[in-house]
């Protein structure tokens, strides 16, 4: 009875987001290392076609952890880099950018600006080259920056001597997880750009104009693939459990605000954030601008919540309250 009540509350919260036109539909999976506790689809992808467990979502910034951080963890484990290697060791960059460390990129303490609008005038390799030339401007504080993870992508490509999407695809080995998905009909549409509805192309501008492949965004996946990813990560299949612990349990304080912390590559819960009131420093995960989120506890309980909330309004942030309510209800019953 208690379990039934839990899931009915979960359903009501997610359904309220559909009724309020925060997102047209959603997919939820709550699981552990050993089993799926709850899996359900809600609504539609576009007010017409129903969602299902095979719906492919634009993960936005979940790319940072599932693709980029996992790639860096693997290269770290294999001895190709360490956390205090400098960018200049791998890339031909000038100035203070060359002295930024891998650790600073992963923890957003590099001093890089949050984003760049160079995509308005440059495309493809020209855009990538100029983004990599941008210098840090705010050393001494933790500032979230997509440019950090584009730099990490370039480092991965330099070390592996292959394209980032190729390397990530082989590393993750997940059937429906990729950059530039071919099965467009299975993709949940996102926002409109240049007079067309995006479907199977990144909602993120930098990822879009970089050609669909980036270290900050651009990865597409399904709820079941992400569930498999989490299980493999926690079991030591991608990298050793020692590496997983280092990256997901190390806490890094914001030099300007010691109350704000991150893990290495991964987000840590913040007060009033998407993990709700049960969020604690041993949890790790990430959120995505398109309406995606993944949170994992140290014990392996994980909540995967995928939506395409940008379908209605890119800048509508009401999903934050949905996430908080959802995780409160789930963690109040299942947290150990």
pLDDT in tens, 103-121: 999 999 999 999 999 999 9
Q: What is the spatial distance between Cα 75 and Cα 163, in angstroms, rounded to a whole number? A: 15
Q: What is the mean pLDDT of residues 143-155?
A: 98
Class of domain 2-334: alpha beta
1 has a pLDDT exceeding 50: no
What secondary structure does DSSP assign to 307-319, as a single string? E-GGGT-TT--TH
| pLDDT at 172 exceeding the cut of 70 | yes
Tokens of 62: 């979940």
CB 269 within 8 A of CB 281: yes
pTM above 0.95, yes or no: yes
Percentage of residues in the chain having pLDDT higher than 70: 99
DSSP state of 184: G
Task: Calculate the average pLDDT of the chain.
Answer: 97
Section 225-231 average pLDDT: 99
* pLDDT value at 75 more than 50: yes
The per-residue pLDDT for 114 is 97
Structure tokens, 66? 């599932």
pLDDT digits (tens, 9 = 90+) for 203-222: 999 999 999 999 999 999 99
Is residue 296 helix, strand or coil? strand
Helix (H, G, I), strand (E, B), or coil: what is residue 278?
helix
Residue 4 pLDDT class (50, 70, 90 cuts): confident
Model pLDDT, residue 269: 96
Indicate the pLDDT class of residue 175, thresholds 50, 70 and 90: very high
Q: Give the pLDDT of residue 96.
A: 97
**Is residue 307 predicted with pLDDT exceeding 50?**
yes
Evaluate whether 310 touches 190 at the Cβ level (below 8 Å).
Answer: yes
Q: Are 23 and 43 in contact (CB under 8 A)?
A: yes
238 vs 235: CA distance, rounded Å? 8
Q: What is the mean predicted confidence (pLDDT) over 237-257?
A: 95
Give me the pLDDT at residue 2, please: 59
Please report which confidence band the pLDDT of residue 272 belongs to, taking 50, 70 and 90 as the band edges: confident
What pLDDT score was predicted for residue 135?
98
Question: CA–CA separation, 109 vs 144, rounded Å?
Answer: 8
Backbone angles phi, psi at 106, to 5 degrees: -70, -30
Structure confidence at residue 139 (pLDDT):
84
């Amino acid at each position: 009875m208690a379990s039934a009540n839990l899931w009915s509350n979960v359903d009501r919260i997610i359904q309220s987001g559909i009724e309020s036109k925060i997102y047209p539909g959603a997919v939820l999976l709550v699981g552990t290392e050993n089993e799926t506790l709850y899996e359900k689809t809600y609504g539609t992808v576009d007010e017409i076609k129903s969602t299902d467990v095979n719906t492919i979502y634009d993960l936005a910034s979940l790319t940072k952890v599932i693709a980029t951080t996992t790639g860096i963890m693997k290269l770290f484990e294999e001895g190709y880099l360490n956390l205090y290697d400098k960018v200049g060791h791998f890339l031909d960059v000038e100035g203070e950018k060359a002295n930024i460390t891998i650790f600073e990129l992963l923890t957003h303490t590099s001093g890089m600006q949050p984003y760049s609008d160079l995509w308005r005038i440059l495309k493809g390799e020209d855009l990538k080259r100029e983004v990599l030339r941008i210098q840090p401007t705010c050393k001494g504080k933790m500032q979230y920056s997509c440019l950090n993870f584009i730099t990490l992508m370039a480092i991965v490509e330099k070390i592996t001597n292959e394209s980032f999407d190729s390397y990530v695809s082989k590393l993750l080995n997940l059937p429906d997880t990729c950059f530039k998905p071919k099965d467009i009909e299975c993709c949940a549409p996102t926002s409109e750009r240049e007079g067309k509805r995006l479907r199977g192309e990144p909602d993120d501008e930098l990822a879009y104009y970089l050609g669909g492949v980036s270290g900050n965004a651009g990865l597409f996946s399904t709820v079941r693939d992400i569930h498999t990813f989490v299980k493999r990560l926690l079991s030591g299949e991608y990298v050793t459990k020692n590496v997983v612990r280092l990256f997901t349990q190390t806490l890094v304080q914001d030099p300007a605000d010691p109350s704000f912390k991150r893990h290495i590559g991964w987000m840590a819960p913040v007060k009033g954030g998407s993990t709700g009131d049960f969020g604690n420093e041993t949890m790790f995960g990430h959120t995505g601008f398109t309406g995606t989120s993944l949170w994992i506890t140290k014990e392996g309980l994980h909540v995967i919540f995928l939506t395409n909330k940008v379908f209605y309004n890119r800048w509508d942030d009401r999903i934050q309250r949905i996430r908080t309510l959802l995780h409160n209800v789930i963690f109040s019953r299942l947290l150990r």
